Structure 1
Amino acid sequence: MRFKDVFSIIGPAMVGPSSSHTAGAVRLGRIARSLLDAEPQWAEIGLFGSFADTYRGHGTDLALIGGLLGYDPDDARLVRSAEEARQAGLQVTIAPSHGLAAHPNTAEIRLGAADSVITVRGASIGGGNVEIERVNEFDVRFTGSYPTLLVFHADRKGMIAEITGLLSGSGINIGSMDVDRAGRNGNALTVIESDLVVPASLLSSIAALPDVQTVRMIDIMEGMR
């Protein structure tokens, strides 16, 4: 894990008891909510490893639900997030999974609203930090610690150059990039972590590129920098 700041060592401001099982879980839920880009109506969450073993005792279930509602790790409402979700019309199912996971604190979140559905798999890796390892059918990695752009698009020649060209032309510095595709000339996902949030006007320009399907911007650390 790259060193970012002192808070990467001492941990985040949060409602306890555990940065891995609580703060990290909140951020996993926040990322899933951002990718859905709509008020979620239902969620199916599978837990792996220690998440599956201790989620009730450590409040991981409440933390994940709070993240889906858009709460921060230090939001006092986390302790009653299950009830808040019911009042908001968000139906949540959480269950341990017996499958394998690369990290013991892993959750897979399938989230939906109307005709929109997103599946996000990620892990809480310590100190409230997370790593996403899969979005829908795409194996991509990002942390959510930086403003993160996701572009779902057709796999065609020149697409990456067009996306990065628009960013560069607007003064957006690319910190890292990951690309995965479902198959040659099929669908693909490009993930770009940047130093700045991509403004709405630029997101619209990227969305208008030929063969771009969906554009999402994640900034779950807003107000924490």
Structure 2
Amino acid sequence: MAEKSSIFDMIGPVMIGPSSSHTAGVVRIARAAIRILGELPTEAVITFYNSFARTYEGHGSDRAIVAGLLGYPPDDERIRTAFDHAAAAGLQYTFQSVGNASTLHPNTIKLNLVGPGGHRVEVVGQSRGGGVIRIVEVDGFGCDFSGSLHTLIIDADDVPGSIAFIASVIAHDDCNIATMFVSRKGKHEAARQFIETDTPLPDITLGYLRHLSWVHRLTYIPTLE
């Protein structure tokens, strides 16, 4: 007689195993990072913290993070052979581990990435279970977004009224802001806005925001798989 399946056996992300925290979430952190970089990296320094530092090899998180850096989704069969694909793609990577970072979430990863043209980013992400992630830091700027919504990252001067102005531009597209996180180095210094929206922003709006004199860089990340 076949065993009966319960609803608890069926809930979870479509993914390559063994674990949603150690595989699906890890892939999504990497996929968010390459969207922030704006291209596939040629170099990566990957640091696993706390629980991940002790288990990343046994649970396949090392293959999962490399697969995500190659742009593979969580259910891609190539995750199992990601190291081979990385070698073919020319991706150079190094693993590091820190087992006792008490201020960080147990499942934390830091990615230092370099693109083909030399552009660099540093991204810190957390795998929260069930494939859910949080990106909590980008280039030293604190943030908090999941990749499950459309995400806008704006590097700008810390000018008066900038936050309200950008929110107004987005509102005129009938696009609802779900979350906004603003981080800055200091008063009137470099600032970074992280905005999650329920619906995608049109190209014309993104182009307009990019051409504002006080906006230095804009990165748009559609919903992650």
Pair in the same fold by TM > 0.5: yes
Matched, 1:138 2:136: no
State the distance in 1 between where 2:80 and 2:205 align.
Answer: 38
Cα pair 1:149 1:198 within 8 Å, conserved: no
Q: Which residue of 1 aligns with 2:13?
A: 12
- Higher mean alpha-carbon deviation, 144-153 vs 198-207, is at 198-207
**Unaligned ranges ≥5, structure 1:** 1-5
Q: Which residue of 1 aligns with 2:218?
A: 215
Could you list the per-position Cα deviations for residues 15-53 of structure 1 after superposition, in whole angstroms to 9, with x for gaps in the alignment? 000000000000000000000002211111111011110
Shift of 1:132: 1.1
Code of the aligned partner of 1:39: L
**Unaligned ranges ≥5, structure 2:** 1-6
The residue matched to 2:180 in structure 1 has which SS? Answer: strand
Q: Which residue of 1 aligns with 2:22?
A: 21
Q: Which residue of 1 aligns with 2:201?
A: 198
Q: Which residue of 1 aligns with 2:181?
A: 178
Tell me which of 87, 109, 126 is aligned to 1:123: 126
Q: Which residue of 1 aligns with 2:109?
A: 107
Q: Which residue of 1 aligns with 2:4?
A: none
Code of the aligned partner of 1:31: A
Q: Which residue of 2 aligns with 1:38?
A: 39
Cα pair 1:46 1:97 within 8 Å, conserved: yes
Cα pair 1:27 1:220 within 8 Å, conserved: no
Shift of 1:220: 4.3
Cα pair 1:26 1:64 within 8 Å, conserved: yes
Cα pair 2:157 2:188 within 8 Å, conserved: yes
Code of the aligned partner of 2:161: G
Cα pair 2:31 2:224 within 8 Å, conserved: no
CA 1:185–1:147 in 2, change beyond 3 Å: closer, same or farther?
same
Code of the aligned partner of 1:200: D
Q: Which residue of 2 aligns with 1:89?
A: 90
Larger Rg: 2
Cα pair 2:67 2:82 within 8 Å, conserved: yes
Code of the aligned partner of 1:119: E
State the distance in 2 between where 1:13 and 1:141 align.
Answer: 24
Task: State the identity %.
Answer: 40
Shift of 1:98: 4.3
State the distance in 1 between where 2:70 and 2:17 align.
Answer: 18
State the distance in 1 between where 2:63 and 2:192 align.
Answer: 30
Code of the aligned partner of 1:146: L
Could you list the per-position Cα deviations for residues 94-145 of structure 1 after superposition, in whole angstroms to 9, with x for gaps in the alignment? 1112451421110000111122101000110010000111111101111111
State the distance in 2 between where 1:61 and 1:200 align.
Answer: 36
CA 1:99–1:201 in 2, change beyond 3 Å: closer, same or farther?
farther
Tell me which of 138, 150, 153 is aligned to 1:150: 153
TM-score where L is the length of structure 2: 0.91
Code of the aligned partner of 1:102: L
Cα pair 1:24 1:126 within 8 Å, conserved: yes
State the distance in 1 between where 2:200 and 2:66 align.
Answer: 25
Q: How many equivalent pairs are there? A: 216
Q: Which residue of 1 aligns with 2:69?
A: 68
RMSD of aligned residue pairs (Cα, Å): 1.7
Shift of 1:221: 2.7
Could you list the per-position Cα deviations for residues 45-100 of structure 1 after superposition, in whole angstroms to 9, with x for gaps in the alignment? 11101111010111101111111111111001101111111111111111112451
